[in-house]
Amino acid sequence: MNDSAPKSARRGRRRLLLESLESRRLLAVASDLVTIRGQVTDSFIGGDFEDVALDLFRDDGDGVFEPDTDDVEVNMAMADPSGNYQFTGVTAGSYFVFQPAQTVNGRSLQQQISPLITVNSTQVAGQAFQTIDSFQTTQSVEDTVTDGTPVTSTQAAAEAIGGSRDLIVDKTQGGTGDIGTIEIGVNQAVSPNLLSFDANGFANGQRSVIWDGAGDDAATVDDDGLGAIDLTSGGSATGLRFVIGSVTSGTAVIRLYSDDGIAGSQTLVSQATLTIPALPTQPTSVEYIPFTDFQSVSGSGADLTQIGAIELDVSGGPDYDAIADLLGTVGPNIIVQNIDNAGEADLELTKTLITTEPTLNENVVFDVVVTNNGPDPATGIVVTDRIPTGIINTTGTTSTGTFTPGTGLWTIPSLAVGATATLRLTGQLDSLDPQTNVAEITSAEQLDADSPRDNNVLADDDQDAATVTATRVDLQLSKAVSDGQPNVGDEITFTLTLQNSSLDTATDATLSTATGILVEDRLPAGLTLVGNTPSAGTSFNTSTNRWSISSLDVGGLATLELVARVDQAGDFTNEAEVLAVTQRDRDSTPGNDLIDEDDQDEVLIQTPVADLSLTKTVSNESPTVGENVTFTITVDNEGPNDATGVQVQDRLPAGLTYISDVTSSGTYDSDTGLWIVGDVTAPNPGNPIPAMPTLQIIARVDSLGTKTNSATITASDQSDPDSTPGAGASTEDDTDSATLTPNAIDLQLTKTVTPTRPEPGDSITYTITLSNAESSAAIPITTATNIQVTDLLPAGLILQDAQVTDGTHVDATGTWTVDSLAAGASETLTLTAILDPGRSDLFASITNTAEVTQAAQFDPDSTPDNQDASEDDQASSIITPAQADLSLTKIVDNVNADVGENVTFTITARHDSGDPSGQFIVLDSLPTGLQFVEATASIGTYDETTGRWTVPELDADSGTAAPSFATLEIVATTLSRGTLTNSAEIIQATLPDPDSTPGNGLIGEDDQAEASLQAEQIDLELFKTVDNLTPRLGETIQYEIVVRNEGLDTATGVIVEENLPAGLTFIDATPTTGSFNSSSGLWTVG
């Protein structure tokens, strides 16, 4: 029930008074709601810090860490696998986190001391997370009668969790005469923003507050009313904060509910009990109730992360009063203090080359020195010496640590501050190229602020390099000849020049003096040595053709002139090479006979020759048949001399017809194929690019098939160094050919139509596909252009639409124009037409033909627009209009019916042949003298008003769903006498009928039938008389019965019944016609 109507008159009550809300909210809730946590790491090299031991020391107040004297160890922790640690339950004060020196997971850790951590009284009170209620919305409820019925109040309250608050009071005890009341009030005038519990007059009873959301029964806890609230706020909150007090001791019970999924039940409940302290001078207490104090009282207990309802009960005996404020969740304040084990050591490395000016294959020595400039000792040092490939067979000697030549790694376990370590590296110089040896500190367990490890930056002080270069010379030999094109018998002079370069261009290093030099000049056969002149200080041996130079300074030159006579014609190469030198040459090897090296050179002399070559091209390698092509023959003279008397043979092959020619020099005879060229100039300084004679032959392509036209130089007055005129060898450069493969198009048409048996007025679709065949080796197919296809619909078809995938269509002419069609491609023309229902011959087949009527290229197997149906550029489609041969028969069940008698007409419609009929209509209107009674159709419907029988479809083919015949029975009553004829006719059909016309009224056609009957009318009268109206018993009397027909027609089958009454005995009967049966009393008149 609600408190809006109190049970009895209100009585006075007393209330607890508290100090202002602001001051009460500053009271300490707890003294240890602080957690100091952090992570043990090494920010430089990382590592595994599981099981690192840490201690928490309380400072004695001087801010100095003194673990062995005044500071007290209050807690200890071990780091988890991620290096995380924490100290919980920390009270107000100042602290140090201390990591003692220890070895963990094989790694030595130095001691670490955190900065001073100060925890104040505010922090240890924890931090609030969720407010359950701050009691700001006014509400009250009172119970004045001990009747076992609680009084409830529900109030929407924005400050309350769930937005609503339920109050329940139930007075269970009163004073004498049941005096006294119990009450709960919220935000009352004497206790604003507070929750008050009041009792007077010795009253006692239940006083409860429930938070379970809005819209429920206030007297019942709804365990899912709050949904599923996480009171722990993801694990951050650890308990409830509750401000409550009283002048006398009492008890508060807080219950937490989770949804058990069963309506109306609460089976997942946990509760905690709080003793309300008696504080007469200041009746308030800020209480902290850890979540761990809540015990299960139903089922498995409430799930703190899914709370659906909260309940508060307060009790304390008769006249017990209490007052409360601010119920909510709290958790510890977190202070983060990480422990970093990264040390710092400024390591410096220097490298010095000890060996200067080494020769090739000599050992060289380097010194590598590492210095630790602090501030911390260095451990786990690794130096990587990147030994270049030109230094081999290395060894190393260290002052400390170990060196591995194969990897170049020097490992130094530790290096104190200010200490140095030295590696002496020795290796064999195996290359003439400069060799740079780089060493770098690539690893250490301490941070180096000015040089990151293993970054390969030479400017850093943990990396250094030294370069060593072997001493060398650079001899360069050049050779020249006085006349490169001498006549036979001429004397020519070869000049050899040997130079020792002064600078190694690769390293900018100065080279050394060369000694013990020997040069060989290999005079070829065909030349005879007739003299020599060596420069001063050198000598030439004519027996061995070797030139000796004992010494050649840096930058010095030596020369040798050899005079030789040309004894025969031809090409001659004279080579010279340095065979020996004491020093290593930086870029060449003496005596290896490599002309590309600069210690060897050669000159070429030639007697006069003309290097003629011929090229031939064709203007179009893939022409179409009937097209002209141009062959271009060009004669070139690479010299070195002019050529005279040049002739070229070029005869056209079969399949090509000569048209004309154009020559830039000489004349061409098309009959013999001989081109008299004449002179061909070679390049010379005055005319470096002389004009080359050309011949152009224009020919027509007459047939398909690959055709090769060859041309060859058949005569020249000069010798050719690489070909023989007239030899005709295709590998020589005085012969060339051009090949063409004529192409064609191969247009093909296909045509389809649907439907092939249309009905009059049906839409017909023709699909015409134009394709150009794929190219093949036998017939290369080219793109067809300027194509026209003609398809003009024949009579009986009405064009509705034309759609093309490419090109344009002219409806009036039926012309489809396609600009181009590639080999293997196809395009489509779709024509839509209507079968003319008004054409004169509805049954005649219609042939529609499409043909390629124009194309720009040659088609080998068809000729456009020749109306030859056998060619593949023409295609036809035939349609045969659909038809159905329908017929009717009709019978009547009684041909002689009496007027007023019912007769039945049976009309049978048959499908004799052809296509499925589609719907048709039979007209059967009863004539005058017959009155419609009923009709029964085997299929379709009959309308007695119009006399129309509509049949959906018949089909002569028994394999379809439609039947081959249908019947209609019409029952009618005869109304008048005489002959009555009933006709039936098919008046409308979907398809034409080959032997009848619907609705034309011709009885001779089989789509019309009739049946006749004779209706007769009679009027029978019966008269009966007796010869003695008053006979005596036993006397014979005679009855006379007369039957008379007053009608218009003869009556037949007449029977009269005569039944003598009781008291009369039959004796005899004499009929004038027919017969009388005395047993049955029936007179059969006839």
**Residue among 545, 546, 544, 493 at smallest CA distance from 518:** 546
Half-sphere exposure of 731 (CA within 13 A, CB side): 1
CA geometry: angle at 892 spanning 886 and 895, to 5°?
145
Q: What is the DSSP string of 478-534?
A: EEEES-SSPPTT-EEEEEEEEEE-SEETTTTEE---EEEEEEEEEPPTTEEEEEEEE
Give the pLDDT of residue 927: 93
Helix (H) or strand (E) holding 24: helix 21-24
Pair 415, 370: CB distance under 8 Å: yes
Residue type, 215: G
Beta bridge partners of 435: 468
Pair 835, 758: CB distance under 8 Å: yes
Q: How far apart are CA 133 and CA 1058, in angstroms?
A: 117
Q: How far apart are CA 758 and CA 644, in angstroms?
A: 84
Pair 111, 139: CB distance under 8 Å: no
Beta bridge partners of 250: 276
Pair 384, 408: CB distance under 8 Å: yes
Q: How far apart are CA 279 and CA 338, in angstroms?
A: 44
Measured between its terminal Cα atoms, the distance across the chain in Å is: 106
Phi, psi of 162 (to 5 degrees): 85, -5
Give the pLDDT of residue 243: 85
CB atoms within 10 A of CB 1055: 12
Q: Please state whether the peptide bond connecting residue 860 to the residue before it is cis, i.e. omega within 30 degrees of 0.
A: no
Helix, strand, or coil here: 293?
helix
What is the Cα 1063 distance to its own chain's centre?
116
E strand residue ranges, 619-730: 628-640, 643-650, 656-663, 667-669, 674-680, 694-701, 707-715
User: Which structure tokens are listed for 30?
Assistant: 């707890």
Task: Using 50 as the pLDDT threshold, list the residues of the chain that sit under it.
Answer: 1-29
Render pLDDT for 459-468 as a digit per residue (tens, 0 to 9): 999 999 999 9
Q: How far apart are CA 34 and CA 24, in angstroms?
A: 21
Q: How far apart are CA 676 and CA 669, in angstroms?
A: 9
Q: How far apart are CA 699 and CA 721, in angstroms?
A: 34
Cα dihedral 970/973/977/978 (nearest 10) = 0
Pair 387, 421: CB distance under 8 Å: no
User: Which structure tokens are listed for 55?
Assistant: 């201690």
Q: How far apart are CA 411 and CA 683, in angstroms?
A: 72
Cα dihedral 121/125/127/130 (nearest 10) = -150
Q: How far apart are CA 295 and CA 53, in angstroms?
A: 35
Phi, psi of 24 (to 5 degrees): -65, -35
Render pLDDT for 869-887 as a digit per residue (tens, 0 to 9): 999 999 999 999 989 899 9
CB atoms within 10 A of CB 1078: 12
Q: How far apart are CA 925 and CA 984, in angstroms?
A: 7
- Show the domains of the chain with their CATH numbers: 34-124 (2.60.40.10), 128-333 (2.60.120.430), 343-468 (2.60.40.1170), 478-496+504-606 (2.60.40.10), 621-679+696-703 (no CATH), 747-879 (2.60.40.1530), 884-1016 (2.60.40.1530), 1020-1084 (no CATH)
* DSSP symbol at 21: H
Give the pLDDT of residue 280: 66
Q: How far apart are CA 80 and CA 77, in angstroms?
A: 9
CB atoms within 10 A of CB 729: 11
**Residue among 883, 901, 884 at smallest CA distance from 892:** 901
Residue type, 446: Q
Beta bridge partners of 630: 698
Q: How far apart are CA 991 and CA 758, in angstroms?
A: 9
Residue type, 88: T
Give the pLDDT of residue 958: 65
- How many residues belong to the chain? 1086
Give the pLDDT of residue 998: 93
* DSSP symbol at 940: S
- Look up the pTM and report it: 0.40
Strand 920-923's sheet: what is its strand order? 896-898, 1008-1016, 978-989, 920-923, 948-951, 941-943
Q: What is the CA radius of gyration of the chain?
A: 65
Phi, psi of 734 (to 5 degrees): -95, 10
Q: How far apart are CA 499 and CA 515, in angstroms?
A: 12
* DSSP symbol at 264: T
